């Protein structure tokens, strides 16, 4: 059972629709009790970093998620801001992130990650999978996904970069530390490539 964490941010229904289409058992988790029985977790998110952290904390699901992910080692995938909050901190806010992935979130404008100054990074871009990350199995060398963001993940540890993309310069578009995955793009809105990626996540073997 994949639990889609609904803390008021992100396109919950789009994930549910994809899982319904490919017949993957899933539920929408709005409160702590809904996470019971989850064997995998989708952590969506849009908007500002601090806002996302505040909403997640006030939903009452943060502690049970820590228990499931950190102690029980259940696979989790953060999407967009849901990926960014996996890191330790963000240039967009003051609050600490979940810290499940060794990295931080930076402003693309400040880091010179843009083309002709145009931000947000909006639209379809190529993603180059690295290290044979299971999420991208069968997707080819440079599948396209839909992006919509002005901040991005940075890390000093290249081993956790699961995929890279270019927008003026190269940035990590997916990260992975063991059973913790994060993607900056929106698989739920990326047509067939997105469906394949979500299916791959559903098929990852839990520890």
Partner 1 sequence: MLRSRVIPCLLVRNNGLVKTVRFGDDKYVGDPINAVRIFNEKQVDELIVVDIDASVQNREPDFKMIENLAAECRMPLCYGGGIKTADQARRIMSLGVEKVAISSAVIQRPSLISEIAEQVGNQSVVVVLDVRKTKNGPDYTVWIHNGKQDTGKCPIVLAKEFVALGAGEIVTNSIDRDGCMKGFDLDLIARVREAIQVPMTVMGGAGSFEDLAQVVRLHGPIGVAAGSLFVFKGVYRAVLISYPSSIEKNSFNKESEKLSNTASKFNDLGKTIKTENTLNSIIKFFTK
> Which stretches of the chain bind partner 1, using CB under 8 A?
8, 11-14, 17, 46-48, 115-126, 144, 146-150, 166-167, 186, 189, 191-192, 194
User: Residue 18 Cβ, how far from partner 1 at the closest point, in Å?
Assistant: 8
Q: How many residues does the chain have?
A: 207
Identify whether 141 is a catalytic site residue.
no
Catalytic pick among 80, 92, 144, 179 = 80
CA distance 72 to 45: 23
Identify whether 186 is a catalytic site residue.
yes
User: Residue 39 Cβ, how far from partner 1 at the closest point, in Å?
Assistant: 25
User: Residue 156 Cβ, how far from partner 1 at the closest point, in Å?
Assistant: 26
Distances (CA, A) of 13 to 17, 82, 131, 169, 181: 6, 16, 31, 33, 20
CA distance 193 to 58: 33
Strand order in the sheet with 180-183: 26-29, 2-5, 40-43, 76-79, 180-183, 169-177, 161-167, 128-129
From the list 88, 123, 111, the residue with the least C-alpha distance to 168 is: 111
Pick 150 or 177: Cβ nearer partner 1: 150
User: Residue 67 Cβ, how far from partner 1 at the closest point, in Å?
Assistant: 27
Identify whether 89 is a catalytic site residue.
no
Pick 88 or 189: Cβ nearer partner 1: 189
Pick 100 or 151: Cβ nearer partner 1: 151
Active site residues: 80, 186, 188
């Amino acid at each position: 059972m994949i639990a889609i964490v609904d803390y008021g941010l992100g396109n919950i229904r789009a994930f549910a629709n994809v899982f319904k289409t490919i017949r993957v058992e899933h539920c929408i988790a709005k409160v702590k009790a809904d996470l019971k029985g989850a064997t995998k977790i989708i952590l969506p998110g849009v908007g500002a970093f601090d806002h996302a952290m505040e909403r997640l904390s006030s939903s009452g699901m943060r502690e049970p998620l820590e228990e499931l992910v950190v102690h029980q080692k259940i696979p989790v995938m953060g999407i967009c801001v849901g990926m960014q909050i996996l890191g330790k901190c963000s240039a967009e806010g003051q609050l600490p992130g979940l810290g499940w992935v060794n990295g931080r979130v930076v402003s693309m404008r400040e880091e010179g990650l843009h083309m002709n100054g145009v931000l947000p990074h909006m639209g379809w871009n190529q993603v180059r999978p690295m290290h044979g990350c299971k999420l991208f199995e069968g997707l080819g060398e440079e599948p396209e996904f839909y992006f919509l963001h002005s901040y991005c993940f940075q890390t000093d540890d290249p081993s956790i970069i699961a995929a890279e993309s270019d927008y003026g310069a190269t940035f990590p578009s997916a990260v992975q530390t063991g059973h913790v995955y994060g993607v900056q793009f929106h698989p739920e809105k990326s047509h067939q490539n997105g469906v394949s990626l979500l299916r791959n996540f559903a098929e990852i073997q839990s520890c």
